[in-house]
Amino acid sequence: MASWLLLLGACHSTGKRPKPGERVAPVSATPVSSAPTPGALAAASAIADTLRTVHAEKLEVTAPSVQPARLAFGPGRLLQATAGKVVLRDVTDGRVLADAPLEAFRAMARGTDGALFALGRDRSVRFEAAAPKGFPHATFFPGSSLFPDLEHPDHFYVYDSEQASLYRYSFEAEGGALLPIDAQFSLEGCVSALALLRDGAFVCRSSGGIARRAPRGRKSEVKLPAGVAEPLRLLPAKRLDELFSVSRSGEVTHLRLENGTPVLGHFQLPAPPFAASANADALAFILVSPPAPGAPRHWALLVTDFDGQPRFQTDLVEKSASAGDDWLQALVEDKNLAISEYDPLVAVGGGEKVWVWDYAKGRQVFAR
């Protein structure tokens, strides 16, 4: 702290910031102790406590533009990204079936064959059964998204939002450290909220409404009906030509992708959504209410039917975080969401912990 004070004093005395490696003369002959005083320690502690209070009771947590995915369900299995590795768990009790090292995790997904796969900074891994199998690194820039190829389970897609391009890769491609691009498709016009429908087509928010882009088919676009807010997330419905639009304020609208964009249903979530997911049976949401005077924010898991009727709900614990700059990252680390296509299971968690519930029976299956 003493050296920091000297540097600050030098900046003020000369009006210039010292160059790297430049010696700074002390501004006073008065010796400065290298050890912080009790008063300084008390002040630092008070500042940290104040910051923690502001974080907990004043600052609103909003959903990121691209929903992170550190959890993915397969048949009877759950893949979880933890610190430095991915862990494959049995969905009945949470026991570890297998794991594989994976530094700097990027994203994960599930193919139509049930295989779970994850991308890291330097390598990637795929679980066709319990045994992991590595494959070369695929280019994955910040803001990108990972999707399976629903027509060919031996391929997958990476969407680059900066280029509005979809890159197709093969798990079995021969290459060195970098996986070669198998094909490229333009998703020009996509602004945000990219999602994969059950027929393999992609949908997104466009400047004119909602765009549908099939990599090997035609393109189409429909307008958002009057009064329907811009989507934060788009979720597939049971029918191939339908979807759910979820706004940042928690408005959920069931739409059909045809001329006129008919509204098939509408409901309002009790709090803004932080994460959203869907299977062919239900919708799942992590909700975060903004803090109120004297009351911290509140996290909850809500599973509904397609009409918005609650099927399961439970409170979620907010993780305590330090007062540092990374407080938000720590706060939301275990707020990833996944819902199974095979069983009535929903999971919340991330790098440190995971919880799984059976939303049909209304009970927790395990917490690890």
DSSP symbols for 172-231 = T---SSBPPP-EEEE-TTEEEEEEE-TTS-EEEEETTEEEEE-TTS-EEEEPPPTTPPPE
pLDDT tens-digit map of 92-141? 999 999 999 999 999 999 999 999 999 998 889 999 988 899 998 898 99
Each residue of 183-219: pLDDT tens digit? 999 998 999 999 999 999 999 999 989 999 998 778 8
What's the pLDDT at 5?
A: 38
- My answer on whether 85 and 146 are in the same domain is yes
pLDDT for res 295: 77
| 178 within a domain of the structure (yes/no) | yes
User: Which range of residues forms the domain containing residue 151?
Assistant: 66-186
Average pLDDT of the chain is 86
Split into its structural domains, the chain has a count of 2
* Torsion, CA 25, CA 30, CA 36, CA 37, rounded to 10: -160
Residues 137-176: tens digit of each pLDDT = 898 998 899 999 999 999 999 999 999 999 999 998 766 7
Same domain for 71 and 152: yes
Task: Name the phi and psi angles at 11, rounded to 5.
Answer: -60, -45
> What are 30-50's pLDDT values in tens digits?
454 556 676 655 555 554 444
Has this prediction a pTM greater than 0.75? yes
Specify whether 124 is located in the same domain as 46: no
Any idea what the CATH number is for the domain that residue 152 is in? 2.130.10.10
My answer on whether 133 and 182 are in the same domain is: yes
C-alpha–C-alpha distance, residues 242 and 236, integer Å: 7
Please tell me whether residues 119 and 90 are part of one structural domain.
yes
CA 196, chain centre distance (Å) = 16
pLDDT tens-digit map of 64-73: 999 989 999 9
pLDDT at 11 over 70: no
289 within a domain of the structure (yes/no): no
Evaluate if residue 260 carries a pLDDT over 90: yes
Give residue-wise pLDDT tens across range 78-99: 999 999 999 999 999 999 999 9
Q: 29 in a domain, yes or no?
A: yes
Looking at 186, 205, 227, the residue that finishes a domain is 186
**Would you state the pLDDT for residue 34?**
59
Where a domain ends, among 162, 186, 210?
Answer: 186
Of all residues in the chain, the percent with pLDDT exceeding 70 is: 82
Of the residues 126, 161, 186, which one is the last residue of a structural domain?
186
Mean pLDDT over residues 274-301, rounded? 92
Would you state the structure tokens that stand for residue 119, as one six-digit string?
């991308």
- CA dist 98 and 88 (Å) reads 5
**In the structure, what pLDDT confidence band is assigned to residue 280 with cuts at 50, 70 and 90?**
very high
